[in-house]
């Protein structure tokens, strides 16, 4: 596997204010750059008390000022909320700030409940149905091509790299049709549907001028610690959150000590045990082995890693351990 990258979601932590999550994201980006990670991607969610990164394009500008090499991207902009021209202008401006380093990942999902989605765009449902048209317009304007007599500015020698994000066959087929890179949200589904989506993408791929060959990655949730016991303990925070989410209970990430003390109800254990069987959790060698196996099975040159931990130091240490395990440059 040639590269590791990062997806950060600005996760709110119990006992801390939400704005601290944003500042932690800004601190994590140069840390990951120093470790040799290839990309640093940021998600977009709205109306959630857990994932509080609502404007990846704003965070990207701040990260561009704090880094020199690492690629910076959205994973992603939820395109049905916005005008493709405005998104193209934002990302062409980001490209001017960080030439040759900007990724524009776009998705169709609302990244919110439907009430919030309608507040962002009253025509959200219709816009989602028009997603292929929105992508086609965005692709032209991002590339600096005039469309309907309009050109997105500022123009320059570098162009943002456009990605399609998804967790189903739909996004895979769309990315293949437009000749664009594709990222599968493996952590959304615990891998369900990933082999099929990637096979569809590669089999249906139509080469484009900028991307003559298919380029695919997946984003996984992973956590490494000095020992397997430590990693499993810190993973309790996310396990608790996922169990609660299935009940419609959302909130900041709880400390693992608190989760361990309260325990899980017997009715929750089938969900927890299923998560643990599929988890990328352990010491660096264990997680490294699992990631290499996945990369081999899915024929990937790159994997994007998303890590949640209640203690920011634990998260940074996890990324450092995996950078060392993979001998990142």
229: pLDDT strictly greater than 90: yes
Average pLDDT over residues 69-78: 96
Q: Average pLDDT over the chain, rounded to whole?
A: 96
Token pair listed for 174: 């769309």
User: What does the pLDDT read at residue 1?
Assistant: 75
**β pairing state of 102-107 and 161-166:** parallel
- Alpha-carbon distance of 274 to 255, in angstroms, equals 21
Of the candidates 153, 156, 209, the residue with the CA atom closest to the CA atom of residue 178: 209
What structural domains and CATH numbers belong to the chain? Answer: 3-223+281-325 (3.20.20.30)
**pLDDT, tens digit (0-9, with 9 covering 90-100), for 261-275:** 999 999 999 999 999
- Alpha-carbon distance of 198 to 192, in angstroms, equals 12
**Which of 62-76, 117-131, 148-162 is the least confident region?**
117-131
User: What does the pLDDT read at residue 125?
Assistant: 79
Question: Rg of the chain over CA atoms, in angstroms?
Answer: 19
Percentage of residues of the chain with pLDDT beyond 90: 92
Contact by Cβ (8 Å): 141, 85? yes
**pLDDT, tens digit (0-9, with 9 covering 90-100), for 52-61:** 999 999 999 9
User: What does the pLDDT read at residue 186?
Assistant: 97
Q: Which residues contact 253 (CB under 8 A, 6 or more apart)?
A: 11, 12, 13, 14, 50, 237, 238, 241, 308, 310
303: pLDDT strictly greater than 80: yes
**pLDDT, tens digit (0-9, with 9 covering 90-100), for 89-137:** 999 999 999 999 999 999 998 777 888 888 988 887 788 899 999 999 9
Predicted structure pTM score:
0.97
């Amino acid at each position: 596997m040639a590269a590791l990258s990062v997806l950060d979601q600005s996760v709110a932590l119990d006992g801390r204010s939400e704005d601290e999550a944003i500042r932690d994201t800004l601190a994590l980006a140069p840390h990951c750059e120093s470790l040799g990670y290839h990309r640093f991607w940021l998600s977009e969610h709205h109306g959630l008390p857990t994932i509080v990164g609502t404007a990846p394009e704003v965070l990207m500008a701040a990260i561009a000022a704090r880094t020199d090499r690492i690629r910076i991207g959205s994973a992603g902009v939820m395109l049905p909320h916005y005008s493709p021209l405005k998104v193209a202008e934002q990302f062409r401006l980001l490209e001017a700030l960080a030439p040759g380093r900007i990724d524009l990942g776009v998705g169709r999902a609302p990244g919110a409940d439907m009430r919030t989605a309608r507040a962002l765009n009253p025509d959200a449902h219709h816009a989602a149905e028009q997603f292929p048209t929105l992508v086609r317009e965005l692709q032209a304007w991002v590339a600096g091509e005039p469309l309907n007599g309009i050109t997105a500015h500022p123009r320059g020698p570098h162009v943002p790299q456009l990605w399609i994000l998804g967790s189903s066959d739909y996004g895979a087929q769309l990315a293949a049709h437009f000749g664009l890179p594709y990222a599968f949200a493996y952590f959304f589904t615990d891998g369900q549907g990933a082999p099929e989506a990637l096979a569809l993408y590669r089999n249906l791929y139509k080469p484009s001028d900028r991307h003559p060959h298919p380029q695919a990655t997946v984003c996984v949730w992973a956590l490494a610690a000095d020992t397997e016991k430590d990693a499993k303990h810190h993973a309790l925070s996310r396990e608790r959150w996922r169990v609660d989410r299935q009940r419609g209970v959302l909130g900041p990430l709880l400390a693992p000590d608190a989760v361990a003390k309260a325990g899980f109800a017997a009715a929750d254990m089938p969900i927890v045990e299923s998560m643990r069987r599929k988890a990328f959790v352990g010491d660096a060698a264990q997680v490294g082995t699992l990631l290499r196996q996945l990369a081999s099975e899915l024929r990937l040159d790159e994997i994007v890693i998303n890590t949640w931990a209640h203690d920011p130091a634990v998260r940074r240490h996890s990324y450092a351990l995996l950078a060392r395990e993979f001998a990142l440059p």
